[in-house]
Structure 1
Amino acid sequence: MTEPAAAPTSDDATGAPSGRRRGPVASFLRETAIVLVSALVLSWLVKTFLAQAFFIPSASMHDTLLEGDRVLVNKLAPGPFDVHRGDIVVFADPGGWLDQQAAPRTNVVQDALIAVGLVPQQSEDHLIKRVIGLPGDTVASAGGGSPVTVNDEPLDESAYLAPSVGPSQRAFEAVVPPDSIWVMGDNRPQSADSRAHQGDPGGGAVPIADVVGVAFVTAWPLDRFGMLRNPGEVFEDVPAP
């Protein structure tokens, strides 16, 4: 005789297959955890490869950038894209530029949020300046507020210099080494930039390898939101080195 097929087991009166169903609370928590982890991973990927936020701690870039501003930095330059004269760049301390600056204290939570890119990078080991010279350029000034010249071409920097600030009270002249850039702050009297480090290795120039990226937007506070555009017209008459 043929035995009758076994009746399907069920865990309720409707005949639904056996097994524990996930409750609505558990499902919500699981979906929320997936969203949060995905957001953190995406934020980390963006911070690592595309863009990163930085906090402005000093007055060296007035009035372009003020203390407390947060800027977003394009990490594709240098890299797939080049760094140009006039760009505002964030770079790691080449050595000795920030020895006297106290590092702000952070806790474990802040460190974790910085690591994944949800909080701006503290600037205790980074600087932000404007690129004035590229590899091979001769950058100079006679001092006393006279113009900065690049390859003997005087610059009109009024588009970005702080009001009532001259191009350079300090006299200097330097040839930018290969794979390096010459940087200066927009608030020249308050900026310990390449001019102040000519006695350091590299003669004050910053290795391009130390550049994190090019700042392209002031993101915070909201009343200062705006694009940081390259003033290309300032450098358009500069000849090749």
Structure 2
Amino acid sequence: METQEAPEDRDCSSEPEGSEARPRSSAVRGVLRDVALLAVVCAVVLFLVNMFVAQPFGIPSGSMEGTLRIGDRVIVDKAVYRFGSPQRGDVVVFDGRGSFIDDGASGSGDANGDDFVKRVIGVGGDTVTCCDSKGRLSVDGVPLDESGYLYPGDAPSQVPFSIKVPAGRLFVLGDHRSDSSDSRDHLGDPGGGFVPVDKVIGRVDWVVLPVGHWRSVDRPAAFATLASELRKGAGHGQQG
């Protein structure tokens, strides 16, 4: 008759309680640590992209309808002018302090706070005039066809003007002229309503929200035609 447990039975005693829980909890902590590290890395990358590459902006006013609608979220390319300057036809976001609002003051803006969104019509050296006998705006005497982006029913301007854009400045207008406070409204102010190039934050390249409005914001073909006509005119002037 056996009076003792078999050695193998004694050796098969269970491990101390909690021995499996410790490795499992360590694995969970490791996963959480990795997730937290990934979140930090993503936050840093997003911050750097937002600061130096691209930034989202909301459109709270109708001054750029029908190119940009109230409530649209747009992506602004902040790197595009690092090695160049804004061109005629670009839709840009800029800091309006010192041009559209008093320097040091805080305004409502029409993009975010002190920031405004408008279309570049004239660059340094241009003479922008409105309007000719056909009611068109012209740059250095060359008429600009604005039918592709001007808000339906709007005239290029109800206020006649003729200005020369200083070097390093921009003359900007909203596409919805009858609902836009732009360079025209600040012609008599200090700075003349001209936006310093170094105040430009970037170029509006995409509408991303609402999803139904998703599209690229391209420079209208009329500005390529304008540039071509201006080059021809400059060439004829040099030859003469």
Q: Taking structure 2 as the reference length, what is the TM-score of the superposition?
A: 0.79
Whether 1:39 and 2:17 are equivalent positions in the alignment is no
Identity of aligned residues (%): 39
Task: Name the structure 1 match of 2:123.
Answer: 134
- Which residue of structure 2 lines up, in the alignment, with residue 225 of structure 1? 214
Distance 1:86 1:137 in 2: 13
CA gap of 1:136–1:96, structure 2 versus 1, over 3 A, is closer
- Structure 1 unaligned segments of length 5 or more: list them: 1-12, 14-19, 104-121
The answer to whether the 8 Å contact 1:58/1:66 transfers is: yes
Q: Tell me, in whole angstroms, the C-alpha distance in 1 between the residues paired with 2:28 and 2:70.
A: 45
Aligned to 1:116: none
Work out whether 1:92 is the aligned partner of 2:95.
Answer: yes
Aligned length: 205
Preserved CA contact (<8 Å) 1:143 1:170: no
1:57 aligns with 2:70: no
1:215 is matched with which residue? 204
Correspondence for 2:173: 184
**Inter-partner Cα distance in structure 2 for 1:93 and 1:176:** 17
Which whole-Å CA distance do the structure 2 matches of 1:147 and 1:178 have between them? Answer: 24
Match of 2:150 in 1: 161
- 5+ long unaligned stretches in structure 2: 1-14, 16-21, 235-240
1:175 aligns with 2:178: no
TM norm structure 1: 0.78
Match of residue 9 from structure 2: none
What is the Cα-based RMSD across aligned positions, in Å?
2.3
Q: 1:194 to 1:57 in 2, by over 3 A?
A: same
- Name the CA distance, whole Å, in 2 between partners of 1:190 and 1:101: 17
- The SS at the match of 1:84 is coil
Does structure 1 residue 23 correspond to structure 2 residue 26? yes
Relative to structure 2, which stretch is displaced further, 134-143 or 42-51? 134-143
Give the C-alpha shift of residue 161 in structure 1.
0.6
Greater percentage in helix: 2
Secondary structure of 2:225's match?
coil
The CA deviation string for residues 17-40 of structure 1, in whole angstroms up to 9 with x for no partner, is xxx967122111101101100100
